[in-house]
């Protein structure tokens, strides 16, 4: 979720109720094109299902090939509100006695007239430490940002922008940049914790557009700001029952803005999971998920607590997944077996 987008929503709600619907696109121009910065990661409600999305060191922390894909539709009821799609996959490998993890992730987010794409490849190295597994991971990626300037619309009654502003682009914009991130992760039987620095190179995407006249030349740019992410998850069996509790925390900062969410879930018989949580100054949410054989499905609903709730009915998030256990015994090195028949 873009930090710039959040800033606009806070201001618009204080001004008048329909500004979010009428000129949200214009705010995206000023906030994200003209020497502004953005944060590419979505604050996913079900973050525990996609740990590698926030930390490359979380790749290969289980004996499974894990695949997750989903979508998040934010702030339904508001025109041009963010829509995000994502996919992650990771797996463990052994090289001799050493264990490594590899993974990929891809995400695409639309915000008004903006569309941002980020694709990464990941690798991590693991070693045993303090009755758990410690991981160090890196990822390299490709970042693309697009802006549909030809679809700019400024209402006549807008008091904040002028359609005749010569600094507004008149042609569609696009730019690319290389991205690099790194992280550390610790996995214990009952909990895990990780910290990652994303977009460490602070990549700047420069988008040039040539106007109708040769002398009419403008340069626009947006940057992917450095961000720090902290994740923590637990798994606490409840004695003499089929229940277990899974608390989780996700926190992030770009050193100008801080966001965090805390969730408590309960799982029954390793099959169905349900829970609730709170995102700092933004929303409360409820989640439900189920795992059957190798498949997983999860859903979350966010109810906004900020002024955006006056214009939106909330946000929806859906995650689908599949996982397949790998055999590291050495006896059947190339054979994969289903989780449920191990």
- pLDDT tens across 148-167, in order? 877 777 776 666 666 666 66
Q: CA 196 to CA 139: how far, in whole Å?
A: 11
Note the pLDDT of residue 40: 63
Q: Are 244 and 267 in contact (CB under 8 A)?
A: yes
User: Which pTM does this prediction carry?
Assistant: 0.81
Among 40-44, 54-58, 199-203, where is mean pLDDT lowest? Answer: 40-44
Note the pLDDT of residue 173: 84
Note the pLDDT of residue 12: 37
Q: Is the model's pLDDT at 301 over the cut of 90?
A: yes
Mean per-residue pLDDT over the chain, rounded: 82
Q: Are 122 and 59 in contact (CB under 8 A)?
A: yes
Note the pLDDT of residue 222: 82
Collect all residues with Cβ–Cβ distance below 8 Å to 259 and sequence separation of at least 6.
43, 251, 252, 253, 279, 280, 282
Q: Angle at which helices 19-28 and 3-15 pack, to 10 degrees?
A: 140
Note the pLDDT of residue 229: 98
Q: CA 58 to CA 198: how far, in whole Å?
A: 14
Note the pLDDT of residue 329: 65
Q: CA 191 to CA 168: how far, in whole Å?
A: 50
Check residues 61 and 173 and name the one with the higher pLDDT. 61
Note the pLDDT of residue 34: 38
Closest alpha carbon to 70 in 36, 100, 107: 107
Q: Is the model's pLDDT at 302 over the cut of 80?
A: yes
Q: Is the model's pLDDT at 3 over the cut of 80?
A: no
Question: Percent of the chain at pLDDT above 70?
Answer: 77
Question: What is the average pLDDT across 328-339?
Answer: 51
Query: Among 110-119, 165-174, 195-204, which range has the highest average pLDDT?
Result: 195-204
Vertex 114: Cα angle to 209 and 183 (nearest 5): 110
Q: Is the model's pLDDT at 211 over the cut of 50?
A: no
Q: Is the model's pLDDT at 30 over the cut of 50?
A: no
If DSSP codes are grouped into helix, strand and coil, which group holds residue 280?
Answer: coil
Q: CA 200 to CA 196: how far, in whole Å?
A: 10
Sketch out the chain's domains with CATH numbers.
3-332 (2.40.160.40)
Note the pLDDT of residue 118: 95
Q: Is the model's pLDDT at 24 over the cut of 60?
A: no
Q: CA 60 to CA 338: how far, in whole Å?
A: 17
pLDDT digits (tens, 9 = 90+) for 283-299: 999 999 999 989 999 99
Structure-block tokens of residue 74: 């934010």
Check residues 19 and 71 and name the one with the higher pLDDT. 71
Q: Are 319 and 69 in contact (CB under 8 A)?
A: yes
If DSSP codes are grouped into helix, strand and coil, which group holds residue 176?
Answer: strand
Check residues 134 and 172 and name the one with the higher pLDDT. 134
Q: Is the model's pLDDT at 226 over the cut of 80?
A: yes
Question: What is the average pLDDT across 313-327?
Answer: 94
């Amino acid at each position: 979720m873009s930090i710039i987008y959040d800033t606009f929503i806070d201001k618009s709600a204080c001004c008048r109720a329909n500004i979010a619907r009428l000129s949200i696109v214009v705010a995206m121009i000023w906030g994200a094109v003209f020497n502004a910065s953005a944060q590419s990661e979505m604050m996913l409600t079900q973050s525990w299902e996609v740990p590698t999305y926030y930390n490359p060191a979380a790749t290969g922390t289980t004996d499974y090939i894990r695949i997750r894909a989903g979508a998040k539709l934010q702030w339904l009821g508001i025109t041009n509100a963010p829509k995000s799609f994502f996919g992650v996959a990771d797996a463990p490998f052994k090289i001799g006695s050493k264990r490594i993890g590899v993974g990929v992730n891809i995400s695409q987010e639309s915000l008004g007239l903006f569309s941002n794409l980020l694709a990464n490849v990941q690798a991590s190295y693991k070693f045993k430490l303090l009755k758990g597994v410690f991981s160090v991971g890196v990822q390299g990626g490709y970042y693309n940002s697009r802006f549909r300037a030809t679809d700019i619309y400024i209402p006549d009654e807008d008091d904040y922008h002028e359609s005749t502003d010569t600094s507004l682009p008149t042609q569609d914009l696009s730019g690319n940049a290389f991205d690099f991130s790194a992280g550390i992760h610790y996995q214990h039987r009952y909990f895990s914790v990780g910290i990652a620095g994303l977009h460490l190179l602070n990549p700047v995407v420069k988008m040039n557009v040539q106007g109708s006249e040769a002398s009419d030349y403008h340069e626009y740019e947006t940057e992917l700001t450095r961000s720090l992410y902290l994740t923590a998850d637990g798994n606490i069996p409840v004695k003499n029952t089929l229940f277990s509790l899974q608390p989780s925390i996700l926190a992030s900062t770009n050193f100008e803005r801080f966001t965090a969410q805390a969730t408590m879930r309960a799982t029954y018989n390793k099959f169905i999971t349900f829970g609730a949580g709170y995102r700092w100054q933004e929303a409360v949410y409820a989640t439900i998920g189920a795992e059957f054989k190798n498949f997983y499905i999860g859903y979350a609903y966010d109810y906004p607590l900020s002024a955006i709730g006056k214009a939106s009915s909330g946000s929806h998030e859906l995650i689908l997944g599949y996982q397949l256990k790998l055999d590291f015994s050495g006896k059947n090195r190339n054979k994969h077996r289903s989780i449920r028949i191990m």
